[in-house]
Amino acid sequence: MKKLLQSKRRGSAIPLAVVAVLILLAMGVGLLDMGLNSRIFATRSTSGIKARCAADAGLTMALFAMNKKIQDGLWNGSTLPQAIDTVLPYSDAIYSYTVTGDLATDYSVLSIGKSAQAQRTVSATLELRGIFEYAILTKEKLILKPDTLVDGYNSLDPFDTDVDVDLSTQSTEDASVILNTGVTVEGDISVGVGGDTETAIKDMGATTGDQFAGLIEDPLPLIYPPALPKMGTNITATAETVTITPAESGQYNNIFVKKGDTLGAVEISGNVVLYITGDIEIGESCELIIKDNSSLTLYIDGDIHCRANSGINAEYPPEDPKTFQIYGTSETQQSFDIKAKNDWSGTIYAPNADVILYANGDFYGSTVSNNFELKAGGNYHYDEALRKVSIEDAGVRFVVKRWYEGNPKSINGM
């Protein structure tokens, strides 16, 4: 009997072992299948990410190539950048892009990225943007005197009365923007990326639009003077009036305007371009005057100093600020102390300069500087027409106007 019971127990273990093996086999196959599917999913996801990165890289390279042509002075609207199956560095992904369009209708970029079997497409519309998008843009401090009105107009369209203005600093430091009592800004004010408007803007009773922190930092490229003939050492007017015409356009060391028995003055007659490698000194009660139907484009490496009761202004100040354009061209700090005996019309682009503006009247134009302060005088009016730029204007660049994911399109038969 004992042997019979032992025999039955041994026989019953075999089916149990088989069942266990089958269960383990099923679990193993399930785990293997799940692992394989996870591996396939991970591979596809990785390929998709690589393809998307490649497409974004193609868009970036297209934008870079467009701006490089401008910077190098090689712009030709009939020959636009393109790339076919360019390898993304440190990756097995490739990208291709084409640029189509023209300046009148904006340019479009189509970029396709590929990795293994994955393909991703991104598209963008590019627009040409100038350096005077803001009424006032600073790297550091922006100070407005009490009761200043900052508004906008359009010198190209007098019927355009709905112009919002933008003021901005790239700084996030405390009191980077100081709005004194009674200041009115008919537009928005932004501070540097990640800044706190509660601390970066010292608002002592101003009326403004929205106040916010910027999302990106606007590039402030250095402007280089054009190739101009060297005309001599200085432009000097001591107790006399010296007239500068287009024939005298060129490179000089300094401009000195001084009084003696009579006042000194420099008059700009015609469309004049000057590059000053040193300083401009306007002595007490003296003037640099831009005559009617004339203009001055001024590139300067040094400083501008206007003494008491002196002025740099137009004879009949127009509301077209392109009549007087100042470009600070130094890589180091500059100081512009500018006075005007009446309304002042002009643009100032000097990202390394501290600009103080005294106008016995209103200001028309736009300013880009390191620090900016508007002293006693009139109000500040931004000309929206400055946003209308051409490919020949200083400092222009292409920017992304709209970005979106699009369906793949053909690039040279792709």
Q: Of 7-11, 313-317, 332-336, which gets the smallest average pLDDT? A: 7-11
Domain count along the chain: 2
The conformation of residue 117, written as its DSSP 8-state character, comes to T
- Shared-domain flag, residues 147 and 242: yes
Check whether residue 297 and residue 409 sit in a common domain.
no
Residues 162, 212: one domain?
yes
Residues in the chain: 414
d(CA 358, CA 361): 9
For 200-211, letters b (16+ CB in 10 Å) and e give bbebeebebeeb
Q: What's the pLDDT band for 412 if we cut at 50, 70, 90? A: very low
* Tokens, residue 148: 């200043």
Q: How far apart are CA 35 and CA 44, in angstroms?
A: 14
Pair 370, 401 in one domain: no
Q: Do 87 and 195 belong together in one domain? A: no
Give the model's confidence band at 270: pLDDT under 50 very low, under 70 low, under 90 confident, else very high: very high
% pLDDT > 90, the chain: 66
pLDDT score for 90: 86
Residue range of the domain that includes 261? 136-387
**Which residues, 6 or more positions from 312, have their beta carbon under 8 angstroms from its beta carbon?**
282, 287, 288, 304, 306, 324, 338, 339, 340, 344
Same domain, 163 and 252: yes
Cα gap 364→368, rounded to integer Å: 14
User: What token pair was written down for 15?
Assistant: 């089916």
Q: How confident is the model at residue 30 (pLDDT cuts 50, 70, 90)?
A: low
Q: Please give the DSSP secondary-structure letter assigned to residue 207.
A: B
Q: Do 156 and 92 lie in a common domain?
A: no
Same domain, 315 and 281: yes
Tokens 């084409």 sit on residue: 98
Same domain, 151 and 116: no
Dihedral, 188, 189, 190, 191 alpha carbons, nearest 10? -170
In this structure, the answer to whether residues 125 and 169 fall within a common structural domain is no
Tokens at 136, concatenated: 């006032």
User: Which tens digit of pLDDT belongs to each residue from 317-359?
Assistant: 678 899 999 999 999 999 999 998 888 999 999 999 999 998 8
What's the start-to-end Cα distance of the chain, in Å? Answer: 84
- In the chain, the percentage of residues whose pLDDT exceeds 70 is 89
Torsion angle (degrees, nearest 10) of CA 368, 370, 376, 377: -10
Strands 271-276, 187-191: parallel, antiparallel or unpaired by DSSP? unpaired
Q: What is the mean pLDDT of the chain?
A: 88
My answer on whether 194 and 102 are in the same domain is: no
SS3 (DSSP) at 70: helix
Do 271 and 247 form a contact (C-beta atoms < 8 A)? no
5: three-class secondary structure by DSSP: helix
Position with higher pLDDT, 304 vs 44: 304
Widest CA span in the chain: 145
10 Å CB burial of residue 38 (0-12, 13-18, 19+) is exposed
The pTM of the full predicted model, rounded to 2 decimals, is 0.84
Q: Which of 18, 26, 63 is nearest to 401 (CA)?
A: 63
Please say whether the beta carbons of 58 and 50 come within 8 A: no
On whether both 263 and 403 belong to a single domain, the answer is no
Better pLDDT: 79 or 25: 79
Other C-beta atoms closer than 10 Å to the C-beta of 18 total 10
Per residue in 124-146, pLDDT tens?
A: 999 999 999 999 999 999 999 99
What would you report as the CA-atom Rg of the chain, rounded to the nearest whole angstrom? Answer: 33
Q: Which residues 6+ apart lie within 8 Å of 149 measured at CB?
A: 183, 184, 186, 379, 380
